[in-house]
Amino acid sequence: MAVADAPPQKKTPEILTHLVELMKYHTAGDPVRGYKWSRKSTYTIARELKHFNITVCPRTVGRLLKAQGYSLRKNRKSIEAPAAKPPDRKRRNRQFLYIARQRRLHEARQMPVLSIDTKNRELIGQFYQDGLAWGRQSTPVFDHDFPSMAKGFGIPHGIYDTGRNAGFISVGTSSDTAEFAVDNLLAWWRQVGQSAYPHANEILLLADCGGSNGYRTRLWKQQLQERFCNALGIAVRVCHYPPGASKWNPVEHRLFAFIARNWAAVPLDSYQTMLNYIRTTTTQSGLTVQARLNRKKYQRGIEVSRAQMQRVRLTGHTANPEWNYSIAPAAG
């Protein structure tokens, strides 16, 4: 099938179907403002669409991307050049390609592919929320965001199931730690995963490089081993996005962006309000979100000894082993 530069209306849905599939592994986004962008140029996308027997020019690709919510951005010279060693672009690109391959392999086997991260903590109370909302009048909020004026704060740890287009959020009230992240993963499995994926023997986790589930965090790996893999008999394969590339993590632009948009200009005056807005977040593509409140107290700064790490059945992958590794359940 060959399509002219200005495709007939009846062909547009077919082109969009292939375009969406092509962009699935190469999209990043702003979790707050909802912008999306891609590492691929319109010339590259037009060339790759030819594999589907679709011939369109780069300008048409640009129009289609815009209709799908993608935005053009330009560089802005506003920071000084760092003295540190510049990033290895080839290594970063290899990591993006490796993650895309792992996603395809696990999706083909119908194994869970979960994108995970922690959203910025939110003050609970009559505090300002960015954005605009329809209403007869403005909602009065505090003129300063002093934490001492808050009823508490909510820390949303998110899990986005890429295959089911479904989110699962635990709102913590204590600290963002590796134990908190693993608790959310366990809650997801018990409430969703074991019924949605009854034959799963491995889970692919996509995570940022830093934070409570960062690749250097010993407690993250130790907790995955002891409390998830050993307890459930399920292996975990973890792939971390390179440093500074958190916006490419699907949970950011497929889940958090829409949650932030849903509660735009709405003060989160209680935990119930926060949970309600998370649970009612949806999209035209059918996103569903579950949410729970986790009032457990988490201790910060827990150290994991060398002896404890030796009990972690950790295997680094051939490609970027510090960013890609697997953890197997205990033998027997």
- For the chain, the average pLDDT equals 87
Give the residue-averaged pLDDT of 31-39: 64
Q: What is the pLDDT of residue 8?
A: 43
| Residue 15 pLDDT exceeds 90 | no
Query: What are the tens digits of pLDDT across the range 143-171?
Result: 888 989 999 999 999 999 999 999 999 99
Antiparallel, parallel or unpaired: β 122-124 and 152-161:
antiparallel
Please write the tens of the pLDDT for every residue from 101-140: 999 999 999 999 999 999 999 999 999 888 876 666 778 8
CA angle, corner 24, sides to 21 and 25, nearest 5? 130
**Does the pLDDT value for residue 282 go beyond 60?**
yes
Question: pLDDT tens across 192-216, in order?
Answer: 999 999 999 999 999 999 999 999 9
Q: Which DSSP string do the residues of 90-148 spell out, in sequence order? A: HHHHHHHHHHHHHHHHHHHTT--EEEEEEPPPEEESS---SS----SSPPP--SS--GG
Q: At what angle do helices 42-49 and 12-23 cross, to 10 degrees?
A: 110
What's the residue count for the chain? Answer: 332
Return the higher-pLDDT residue of 127 and 27: 127
C-alpha dist (Å) from residue 238 to 115, 214, 241, 298, 325: 10, 10, 10, 23, 6
Distance (Å, whole) CA 170 – CA 130: 22
What's the whole-number mean pLDDT along residues 266-276? 95
Q: CATH for 92-327? A: 3.30.420
CB atoms within 10 A of CB 119: 22
Percent of the chain with pLDDT over 90: 63
pLDDT of 207 reads 97
> Residue 294 has which token pair?
């986790």
Whether the Cβ atoms of residue 89 and residue 36 lie closer than 8 Å to each other? no
The answer for residues whose C-beta is within 8 angstroms of residue 202's C-beta and 6 or more apart is 106, 111, 234, 235, 236, 237
Mention every residue, 6+ apart, whose C-beta is less than 8 A from residue 48.
22, 40
Q: Start-end ranges of CATH 3.30.420 in the chain?
A: 92-327
- Give the largest Cα separation in the chain, rounded: 65
- Residue 331 gets which letter from DSSP? P
- Find which of 34-48, 61-75, 129-143, 204-218 is predicted with most confidence, using mean pLDDT: 204-218
- Range from 38-47, 178-187, 289-298 carrying the lowest mean pLDDT: 38-47
